[in-house]
Structure 1
Amino acid sequence: MTLKKLLLLACACLMLAACGGVDPDSPLGKRQALFKQMLKVSENLGGMLRGRIPYDEAAFISGAAKLDKLSHEPWQHFPQVRDDERSKATDEVWQRQARFHEMARDLEAATAALVQATTSTPLRRSTLEPAMQGVEDSCEACHKAFRAY
């Protein structure tokens, strides 16, 4: 192939790739980015408690605080009506908004309880594990009710 054809092919591929993406400044893009951050922090905390990654008390305390802060953020990026068909949220989010927001508050309460469990050092697994399980259960309950897999 000539250089000209290769450049044209490369440009076409880049344009096609850009068409399928989500605008990071859109409500969908913002909430997806926040949920990804929450997942990463949550996986690190759970990984420390389950021995998948080395336990670091200071990192756990910091991670719990970060997760608590993040847990308050995504809800503002869910508009009153469905905004994007590419969302993994089911129509139930918009049809049952009161329940959706109640479950969001449940997650916020669970992350606050996790932060509370980190206030007395040295941290104890017997306190951290149930608090972390509460966060994970809250996430799972909302996903089962409102996320399309």
Structure 2
Amino acid sequence: MTRAFLTAAFCLAALPVAAQSADDAVKARQGFFTMISTEMGTLSDMARGNTEYDEAAAVAAAQNLMALTGYDLPKLFVDGSSADDIDGTDALPAIWDDKDDFAQKYAALASATEGMDQAVAGGQENLGPALQAVGGTCRDCHQSYRAD
């Protein structure tokens, strides 16, 4: 149910992507990353013991991450929407210099989430390895393409 809702929400939100402004693209990207952060936070809190492990919640967060990373995020990196062009974004111009590498790094994130719902089931001890795999792909992309 949650995956279907997320997919529908993204489809509706992405309809005007081809004609949207750079400001709209930045807002859409930021919304996307907020959702990624929310789901990662749910899993991280459980992994650290800040929140009691709840298998159903962990699986749901992992499924949401899997659904989110199925979205074609690179298309939201439209010309004129880098940190050099617009205040309020951390997207480095390097993204536009090497769009193929950026897309590959995003594809690695999607790959890292494959089967994550099964990986986080069964106990708190399963969260760390799954989070490390996903977090590593986030770090790889941020090092090259995000201003801190």
Larger radius of gyration: 1
Aligned pairs for 1:23-102 within 5 A: 26-73=24-71, 74-79=73-78, 81-83=79-81, 84-86=85-87, 87-102=89-104
Shift of 1:116: 3.9
Letter aligned with residue 140 of structure 2: A
- C-alpha RMSD over aligned residues: 1.9
Percent of aligned pairs with the same amino acid: 30
Q: Which moved more, 1:83-92 or 1:98-107?
A: 83-92
Contact 1:90 / 1:148 at 8 angstroms: preserved in 2? yes
Shift of 1:54: 1.6
1:138 is matched with which residue?
137
Q: Which moved more, 1:108-117 or 1:132-141?
A: 108-117
Shift of 1:55: 1.1
Segments of 5+ residues of structure 2 without an aligned counterpart are 1-20
Shift of 1:72: 2.8
Letter aligned with residue 31 of structure 2: A
> Hey, what's the Cα distance between the residues in 2 that align with 1:44 and 1:78?
27
Letter aligned with residue 129 of structure 2: P
* TM-score of the pair, normalised by structure 2: 0.74
2:5 is matched with which residue?
none
Aligned pairs for 1:103-142 within 5 A: 103-118=105-120, 123-142=122-141
> Hey, what's the Cα distance between the residues in 2 that align with 1:55 and 1:69?
22
2:18 is matched with which residue?
none
2:4 is matched with which residue?
none
Point out 4+ residue stretches in structure 1 off by more than 4 angstroms. Answer: none
> Hey, what's the Cα distance between the residues in 2 that align with 1:54 and 1:128?
12
Contact 1:82 / 1:94 at 8 angstroms: preserved in 2? no
* TM-score of the pair, normalised by structure 1: 0.74
Task: Name the count of aligned residue pairs.
Answer: 122
SS at match of 2:53: coil
